[in-house]
Structures are given as structure tokens and as C-alpha cells.
Chains A and B, each alone.
Chain A
């Protein structure tokens, strides 16, 4: 069977849904950050699949920017998580309850 662009789009949609479900159901902040990465990787699959199907380089360039942004987001996210852990000694979203979530 030949792998077409629509296969990639289905894959990326599934990956995005896994990320969205992770954000909505998991309570460990590290897992939440991982779920965000899954969504951004779904974006990358899309971009590269479209880029290949249209014989263009734009999508690949876009995906490099997305990877950069994902790295920056992870860095800032982990930094904030460390600050939070120093004060509260937990990475569990349910125990982070000073503000009404």
C-alpha cells in the first residue's frame, strides 16, 4: 500500500488528539508538558507531509521554527516548574491549588 499525504494527516490528527487528551486528563505537570510537545510534533508531521507532497521547502522551514519554539517552551516550562517545586515540593497539578484552577 502506498503511503499518501492523507495517511500522514490522519497520523498527525491522532497524535494531536493524544496530546489534547493528555492535557485534559493527566495531572502530572511533566506529563502535561510532554502532551504539549506531542501536539507540536503533530504539527511538524503535517508540515513535512504537505511540504513533501507539494515539492516545496516552506513547510520544512516552518517545522524547524516549530521545533525551536517547542524547545524554548520546554525550557521556560521546566524553569517555572523548578521554581514551583522549590516552593511547593510537588509537580502534581491537583496539589497546586492556591488559586482556584
Chain B
């Protein structure tokens, strides 16, 4: 009989999610009873940031616990706090806080500044936090859906905007479809193992004969579900539409945090549950990674809308991160971690730049809207250059190290062809990122230039992300060490 007593340790492992949910509910209540009466809507954002600060303290506590005594688990082993989970929780705290900071000004300008939005940011983060630490199919599935349902609403939050409605509808249909396939895969895994624990499933899958069709069916359905979530080609078509239609801070949050959480889930499932079947999924992942990079990079070249361009570039980034999982050695997994860390800052920075652009009070999102900014806003232009160079993976920016370690991982495993293709696509990517930098220096077609609407929050987010993008690039040792600690699931 399992021990069904809820202990202090169980509470300790759940703390990040508990704090996030409490603050989320608190925002809903205070918004209804206090904030709407006083009209001080920014109080909701402040409450959300206080919540993020407390979660940050809890996560740092987890980090020091893991450093002192190794990984520990709670709730009958269904949640495991290890270096991997803690690292991803740090990513989620950073992106949640940045999402809150960026949203204040943007939602105010769009006339949809309501408390539910911040509650949803926190609820989504609670789901992601469990996604990265969960070790049981039921827990992982519910966490994934907590995240996804919050995101559907956030994407459609501009309810008077047809684009936002449409984006939310598409995201919901395709997201629910992919979750359904993923759940189908989970149900078969449960059938194989007779248990929902990831370790038990890993053991049971290892005992199946080679080429077993049941395992293959489970592998295919779970992978398709996960490929949707990370927007890998050919399951990427939702990404550009959702990023274009969603409020810009939400697009940043979806592109960074939901992708990171889905990668966390994917890495844990592929390395722990399917670890023994690596020969059968490695070629599949390698192929998907290759076409993801190809389609993402080539489609990004032709885009004129900045958010769509960033969407295709984020598809391409997903391809690079997948390559780290193909290598599946220390360098590759460390590369994934440092890649995602850098991606938080550079991608939030890029989206924050777009969120600040306005033309006649409307959000301006075309590449041409950047014209003439070099003369009028030199600081802004420098930030454009920093984030684009980092996204392109050019040293000494943060984006370089992720690519470096992933390529290193590939070369160590002998995947020379993949590494060559990945390196070639960096050149393609440099073309469209430089196009954005160049647009700042062009004078444009004589239209009134776009205005910059930089609230305090946007300034803080921009400068903070910019400084960290450079700092990770110039002084990477500490961040590389942190990324190294997250590699616990060594496969070989």
C-alpha cells in the first residue's frame, strides 16, 4: 500500500505551483473587489510580480537543496525536483516576470487591461512548472493542459480584435488536437507499463521486443503531439498565425515559455520513457529537425510582418534545439539549456521592441515601420542590433553558445551532415536578421514614421534583456555551469 499521507516534503516540491496558483486567485479576487473600484489597474501587475519574486525565492531554495543533497521527489515520486526541473523553473520565472512587465503598457494601449490577464500568466506558469518537474503521465498531462488552456485565453485576450479571436481559435483547435494525440500516446504507454510513472514506463518499454508496433504507435502519437507544441515542421502552421494575432507580450510568452516547457516534457519523455528505443526515434528526430530548420529559415526570409518573421525564426530555433536532443550527449543537452536561457532574453527583447512600435495609436508590426529609427532613437537601434545578432548566433552574443554546444554535441556523435546543414542555415538566418537591423537605417517612403511608445516596464524589460544577452555572451562561465547542472538525464 502506498503511503498516502501528505507530508511537508510533498508541499515543498509543490511550492512553486502552489504560490503561483494562490497569487493567480488573489489577483482575480483583488481585481474584482479592490482594483476595479480604485481604478489602479497596475496594482494587478505589481501583485503578479510579487508572486514571481516569491516563486523565484522558492526555486532558488530548490536549487540549493539539489546542490546540497541531489535530486529529491515528493507525492509518491510523481514530482521530481532535479537540476533539470529547477533550471526550467528559473526560465519560467524569468519569462513570466518579463511577460507581466511588458504587458502593462501594451494592454493599456489596446484597451484590454484587465486583471484576469495577469492571473492567466501565473496559472500558465504553474502548469509549466509542473511540466518540467512532473514524473508521472497523469501529472504531466494535467500540467500541460493547465498551461495550454491559459494560453488559449491569453492569445484571444483582445476580444474586440478579429485577428486575436482567430488566432485563439486556431491555437485552440490545433492545440487541443495535439493534446488529444499526446494523451492517446500516454494511454498506450500506460497499457504497456501498467503504471503511469515515467521510470516504470522506461523499464517496460525496454522489455518490449524490437520493432514492436504498440510501442511504435505510442511513440508516433506522443511525438506528433509534442512536435505540435514545439512548432516543429510539418506541425508548425499555427505558430505564425498565433504570433501575429496574439497580443505581442503573449506572443513572446508563448514563443519562449511554452516552447521551453514543451521541450522539457519532450526531453524527459524521450530520454526517460523511450530511452531504450533511441535507435528508432533518433532518425525521426534528426529528419524533423532538419526540415524544421529548412522551412523555418527559408519562410522567414520572405516575411514582411515582424511578428510572422519572428514566428518562423522561432520555428527554425526549435529545429536547432531538437538537434541537441538528437545528439543527446552532455554537450548537446547543455547546449539546449543555454540555448533556451539565451532565447528567453533575446526573444523577449525582440518582441518588446515590436510591442513599443506604434503608428497612429495602432500597433505597428511591419519591417518598414522600423525605418528611420536609427536617427531618432539610437538606443533602440542598438538594442535591435544586439537582439538580432544574438538570434543569428553571432559571438559575442548569448545566442552563440547554444548553437556552439549543440554543434559540438552533434560532431562528437558523428552527425557531420546535420552539423553542416545547421551551420549553413545560420548564414540564411543572418540574412533576415540583418534585414531588420538595416531597416532601422533606411529612411522609408516618406510616410509619417512610426512612433515609439516606451513605458517604464518596456524600458526595464528591454534594457534588462539587452544587458543579459550581452553578459551571457561575454561572461558565459557562470551560466554554462548552471546549464551543466541541468544535464542529469545522461543517456549514454
Are B141 and A50 interface neighbours, CB within 8 A?
A: no
Sample of 13 further A-B pairs with CB below 8 A, known A20-B181, A39-B177, A54-B194: A9-B191, A16-B181, A33-B173, A39-B180, A46-B184, A65-B141, A72-B145, A76-B152, A76-B153, A77-B173, A96-B166, A96-B170, A100-B241
Whether A80 lies near B172 (C-beta < 8 A) is yes
Whether the Cβ atoms of A50 and B187 lie closer than 8 Å is yes
Check if A98 is an interface residue, CB within 8 A of chain B.
yes
Known A-B contacts A54-B194, A76-B152, A80-B168; A43 and B187 likewise in contact (beta carbons under 8 Å): yes
Tell me if A58 and B196 are in contact (CB < 8 A).
Answer: yes
Does any Cβ of B come within 8 Å of A7's Cβ?
no
Within the complex, which residue of A5, A33, A62, A99 is in contact with B245, where a contact is CB–CB below 8 Å? A99
B244 located at the interface, meaning its Cβ lies under 8 Å from any Cβ of chain A in the complex: yes
The distance in angstroms between the C-alpha atoms of A77 and B187, with both chains bound, is 24
- Mark B141-167 against chain A: 1 for CB-CB distance below 8 A, else 0: 110010001001100100111110111
Complex interface: chain A residues within 8 A of B180 (CB): 16, 19, 36, 39-40, 43
Which listed residue, A9, A49, A54, A83, touches B165 by the CB 8 Å rule? A83
Interface residue? B426 (CB, 8 A) = no
Number of A-B residue pairs with CB-CB distance less than 8 Å in the complex they form = 134
A17 to B: closest C-beta gap in Å: 11
B107 on the interface (CB 8 Å rule)? no
Q: How far is the CB of A94 from chain B (nearest CB, A)?
A: 12
Please, how many residues of chain B have a CB less than 8 angstroms from a CB on the other chain? 43
Residues of B within 8 A of A69 (CB): 141-142, 145, 179
> A18 within 8 Å of B by Cβ?
no
Q: Which parts of A62-78 form the interface with B (CB within 8 Å)?
A: 62, 65-66, 69, 72-73, 76-77
Chain A, residue nearest B195 (CB): A58
Determine the distance from Cα of A81 to Cα of B170 in the docked complex, in whole angstroms: 10
- Complex partner residue of B190 from A33, A36, A62, CB under 8 angstroms: A62
Rounded to whole angstroms, the CA-CA distance of A73 and B174 in the bound complex is 12
Kindly state the separation between the CA atoms of A98 and B245 in the bound complex, as whole angstroms: 9
Given A36-B177, A46-B184, A58-B195; A87-B190 close (CB under 8 Å): no
Known: A83-B165, A98-B166. A47 touches B241 (CB 8 A): no
Interface of A is mostly: helix
Q: Are B194 and A50 in contact (CB under 8 A)?
A: yes
Please measure, in the bound complex, the distance between the C-alpha atom of A87 and the C-alpha atom of B161, giving whole angstroms.
Answer: 8
Q: For the complex, would chain B's binding face be called helix, strand, loop or mixed by DSSP majority?
A: helix
Instruction: List 24 A–B pairs whose Cβ atoms lie within 8 Å, in order of A's numbering.
Output: A5-B191, A16-B184, A20-B177, A36-B180, A39-B180, A46-B184, A46-B187, A46-B190, A50-B190, A58-B195, A62-B138, A62-B186, A62-B187, A65-B141, A65-B142, A69-B179, A72-B149, A87-B160, A88-B162, A96-B166, A98-B162, A99-B163, A99-B166, A99-B244
A101 touches B170 (CB 8 A): yes
Nearest A residue (CB) for B158: A83
Residues of B within 8 A of A87 (CB): 160-162, 165
Is B183 an interface position by the 8 A CB rule? yes
- Is B188's CB within 8 Å of the partner chain A? yes
Whole-angstrom distance between the Cβ of B195 and the nearest chain A Cβ? 7
> A11 at interface (Cβ–Cβ under 8 A)?
no
In the assembled complex, the CB of A55 is this many whole angstroms from the nearest CB of chain B, namely 9
A99 contacts B167, CB within 8 Å?
A: yes
A23 B165 Cβ-Cβ under 8 A: no
Contact with A along B226-250 (1 / 0, CB 8 A): 0000000000010011001100000
Measured in the bound complex, the distance between the Cα atoms of B167 and A70 in whole Å is 20
Is the pair A80, B190 in contact by a Cβ cutoff of 8 Å? no
B-contacting residues, A29-53, CB 8 Å:
29, 32-33, 35-36, 39-40, 42-43, 46-47, 49-50
Q: Which residues of A contact B245 (CB under 8 A)?
A: 98-99
Q: B207 to nearest A CB, angstroms?
A: 15
The interface residues of chain B lying within 8 Å CB-to-CB of A39 are: 177, 180-181, 183-184
Asked if B194 and A56 sit within 8 Å, CB to CB, the answer is yes
Q: Is the CB of B184 within 8 A of A76?
A: no
- Contact partners of B237 in chain A: CB under 8 A: 101
A88, B164: Cα distance in complex, Å: 12
The docked-state distance in angstroms from the alpha carbon of A50 to that of B156 is 38
Do A80 and B152 have beta carbons less than 8 Å apart?
Answer: yes
B194-216 toward A: CB 8 Å interface, digit per residue (1/0)? Answer: 11100000000000000000000
Check B163 against A98 for contact (C-beta < 8 Å).
Answer: yes
With both beta carbons as reference points, the residue of chain A lying nearest to B157 in the complex is identified as A83
B169 within 8 A of A: yes
Q: Which residues of B contact A9 (CB under 8 A)?
A: 188, 191
Shortest CB–CB separation between residue B244 and chain A, in angstroms? 6
Please give me the residue from chain B that is nearest to A66 by CB atom: B183
Question: Given A16-B184, A43-B183, A72-B145, are A50 and B177 also a contact pair (CB < 8 Å)?
Answer: no
